Amino acid sequence: MSGEVAPETLDAVRVRLARDGGALTPDRIARALRAEGRPVGDATVLAVHDALRRDVDGAGPLEPLLALPGVTDVLVNGAGQVWLDRGGGLELTAVRFADDEAVRRLAQRLAASAGRRLDDATPYADLRLPGGIRFHAVLAPVSRPGTVLSLRVPGSRSFDLAGLGRAGLLEADAQRVLARIVHARCSFLVTGGTGSGKTTLLNALLGEVDQAERIVLVEDAGELRPSHPHVIGLEARPPNLEGTGEITVRTLVRQALRMRPDRLVVGEVRGAEVVDLLAAMNTGHEGGCGTVHANSAADVPARIESLATAAGLGRLAAHSQLASAVDVVVHLDRDRRGVRRLREIGVLAREGDLVAVTPALAFPVGRVVEGPGVARLEELLG
């Protein structure tokens, strides 16, 4: 948990310091070690100090993992398993917690740092930490094999399309087509599963927007950081400890429409806000976009339908709005090795009263395959 310092030594020092009160200093740690009959040396004192400081100020033993280059996710499955993802799939680390109480204590402290409650009455939390990390926790015994933490680390820099090409997410032909989609002011959805790279790709696409245009972002948790000179970000807010003060994504979409957006962007469409987004795209707001969880491009209409009908929009109305609002679907996936890639670009087409996604371009490794929707895509791109 803390280098060469045994967990029982840390616990003993922690208890003594908490009982005596005062600031966390090397001198107090040395006195606590002596009082506990533990070895006292400069290296030991510094190791205990660093470990306890992380317990108080940072993410505890997870702090070194979060600082590793390229880390996108850190996952804690109880006290005995900590995993990380650096873009190539999950890796089991050597980090361990002394017991589940230590995991619970860290979870509660991180939640409190964002003003959220996490206890037996409310055993789960989803929030953004002050440094931008997306944090989710579920306390045991609701979760097994213990308290479960999921930390999503924002990228340290924004990729452009060329950078995503060098990273292997896009073929060169795909880069050119995607740039044309943005420049033609097509309305589009970036789709895929969790961790497939939707936000990363959307960031890069927004960097292609003409610099004279105004981008208004609406997000549940602020993750988009496009390289563009005129970006306004609106971020939803959960209820406070008293259960008041909530600001929903749907409310923010309505506010964004009053802010003269050239591009209205919803970072992740996953609720009733889909109704307002579709309405906005149907009332002159060209070039709007967002991300949606979907297993394939073909699944997108059903996904939008389910979100819209849950918000009170009828099935046929949802499909009609979708057909008029969205031009293109850009679908990513993540293979069994954890590699993220653009797989398909599709266009929307009516099939009677409903809407379907027609494949236009597919991107197997090293080549491009045209589908029946390619003529419609070229028409949209002018």
Distance CA 107, CA 120 (A): 12
Please write the tens of the pLDDT for every residue from 290-347.
999 999 999 999 999 999 999 999 999 999 999 999 999 999 998 877 788 999 999 9
Tokens linked to 102: 């230590």
216 pairs with which residues across the strands? 232, 264
359 pairs with which residues across the strands? 346
Pairing outcome for strands 263-266 and 215-219: parallel
CA angle 40, 46, 51 (to 5 degrees): 115
Peptide bond preceding 141 in cis form (omega within 30 of 0)? yes
CA angle 275, 288, 327 (to 5 degrees): 85
Please write the tens of the pLDDT for every residue from 322-336.
999 999 999 999 887
Sheet-wide strand order for 124-128: 90-92, 82-85, 73-77, 148-152, 134-138, 124-128
CA angle 269, 270, 275 (to 5 degrees): 65
Distance CA 305, CA 314 (A): 8
2 pLDDT band (50/70/90 cuts)?
A: very low
In Å, what is the CA distance from 194 to each residue of 1, 290, 329? 29, 15, 17
Is residue 193 classed exposed, middle or buried when 0-12, 13-18 and 19+ CB atoms within 10 A define those classes? Answer: middle
105-115: average pLDDT: 87
Tokens linked to 136: 């989710």
Please write the tens of the pLDDT for every residue from 20-76.
656 677 888 888 888 877 777 777 777 777 777 665 557 888 988 998 988 989 999
Peptide bond preceding 64 in cis form (omega within 30 of 0)? no
175-196: average pLDDT: 94
Q: Which residue has the higher pLDDT, 381 or 283?
A: 381
Residue that has been written with the tokens 């597919």 in this structure: 362
On average, the pLDDT of the chain sits at 88
3 pLDDT band (50/70/90 cuts)?
A: very low
